[in-house]
Amino acid sequence: MIKPSRIERALTLLALAGLLLAACQATMSPPDAVPTALPVAEYGWWNDAVFYEVFVRSFYDSDGDGVGDINGLIKKLDYLNDGDPATNDDLGVTGLWLMPVMQSPSYHGYDVVDYYQVGDEYGDNDDLLRLIEQAHARGIRIIIDLVLNHTSRQHPWFQEALDPGSERRDWYIWANEQPEGERWRESAGGYYYGYFSDQMPDLNYENPAVTEEMQKVTRFWLKDMGVDGFRLDAIKHLFEDGPVLEHTPATHAWLQEFYLFCKEINPDAVIVGEVWSTMDDVVEYVGGELDIAFEFELANATLESAVSGRKASVERKQQAVIDTYPPGQFATFLANHDQNRARSRLLDDEQAKLAATLQLTFPGAPFIYYGEEIGMQGAKPDENIRRPMQWGPDGGFTTGEPWRLYYEDYQERHVAGQSEATDSLLNHYRALVRLRNEHIALRQGDFIPLESDCRPVYGYLRRHQDENILVIVNLAAQEQTGCTLSLAASGLAHGDYAVRELLTSVEMSTLTANENGGFDYTPSEAFAPREEYILLLMGD
């Protein structure tokens, strides 16, 4: 028997999931303003979305206590998407990922003490219900962080488990004598396993009662609260097998059951996973355990090429992504809450614009970390990459004392100032998101790389049925002249194509496709430093 490849297995699982979704589609309807996707066996609504990652604590404070809250997020929904496609002064995102909002003793929320309640500092469950209702009215879907691997040490479950005779003892992983390995933590009742810290004891999914309880949690958020899916935190660590601490067969098996459980509750729910690992490891989760997973290698390559001015990193990695994943079933990003901010890794706003253009014209489901659109900076420790959003020259996040100080440049770098500057990074992001929302080729189109005789110039064709868009960027800080972009063959019909530049409306030369759908195209005599084009091809 020929063993199926990883991609064949993933595609088979994706097709089976599509059949399940299609069978239940009649009873589910998306928010009115969310674009309709292709058949779900091929694409889900997430392939038509642009997501925005929000740390509620740092986004907007509605009551002056220095901590962002859900009511503050509601007040800023029009900044994210005002629900009117005709306007261009909102960001236009159609998905929100909320970092942990459940009750927790920590500032970050990744150690939960109550899986059924919104944290007191953020508001309450009714506030979140109102947020979801108002977001849906604007065409925004909401997913939340679900922390499965561990709870807080202060969770009542763990406090009970400290007693060796407790019924909850086996909800966590215990040893009477200290095992080898630094992740075992001592307590009065023995040693417990906590992969991330002594404040985050790992749950024991070998115990069916733990799975049953987490399924109740999942049902509550999908059915009672009406969230549109989950971002699953740290899922590669759910089960350990001796010295093997990640990607174990038991982890994959558990996630397959969890995925089906979620789809039975809401076939439209999206399951996004954090599997911080190599591409070959990540893809094993996609298709029957996750809908999409974050693509860390591509994120790093995109930033590397934007900084270096050389296309090799992003060109190679993007082709590897296309060759590895089911079409479009991965999540793109530039940075997140666990990494130094993208703008702190990039040298200037021009490089930030290049990176944004690449991400938002690539396949996959894009995620933008809050503040990335204005170039907020920040480097570890984690609190400094999760600073308050910079709304105006006075900071604008709170009327009180912010829980964490703004970055040093807040008086010059803020939403208010960049909204007024037509060439700002914020308005560049707005234009890119708008183009992605308007053009299905950028959301679901094939990705076809082009050959370029100018080494720093990177180009590709995004093609969906009759819509064809060329993306061309000069990554270098130097002008490039006489650059020709070539394609041997494609599905383009033979003939001439008028070319409309979608970002700046600058005039472009006509493109002629040969009988094979190929071309040799010189769009202009010269590419200015870090110039970028998004070109719509218009044939007869």
The CA distances from residue 275 to 204, 268, 329, 410, in Å, are 19, 22, 14, 33
Chain Cα centroid distance, residue 22: 25
Return the closest-CA partner of residue 534 out of 438, 451, 453, 466: 438
Structural element, H or E, at residue 367: strand 365-369
d(CA 283, CA 299): 15
365-369, strands of its sheet edge to edge: 292-293, 270-273, 229-233, 141-147, 95-98, 51-54, 365-369, 331-332
In angstroms, the CA 329 to CA 286 distance is 7
Q: Quick one: tokens of 207?
A: 């115990």
In the block, residue with structure tokens 């063959």? 489
In eight-state DSSP terms, residue 265 is H
Check 233, 291, 373, 532 and give the catalytic one.
233
Annotated catalytic residue, options 90, 127, 228, 274: 274
How do strand 365-369 and strand 331-332 relate by DSSP bridges? parallel
CB 25 within 8 A of CB 17: no
Q: Is 274 a catalytic residue?
A: yes
Is the backbone of residue 192 left (phi > 0), alpha (psi -120 to 50) or beta? beta
Residue type, 95: G
Distance CA 288, CA 8 (A): 12
Q: How far is CA 279 from the centre of its chain?
A: 16
Q: What is the Cα–Cα distance from 66 to 347, expressed in whole angstroms?
A: 31
CA distances to 4, 163, 249, 359, 454 from 188, in Å: 50, 9, 33, 50, 66
The enclosing H or E element of 52 equals strand 51-54
Active site residues: 233, 274
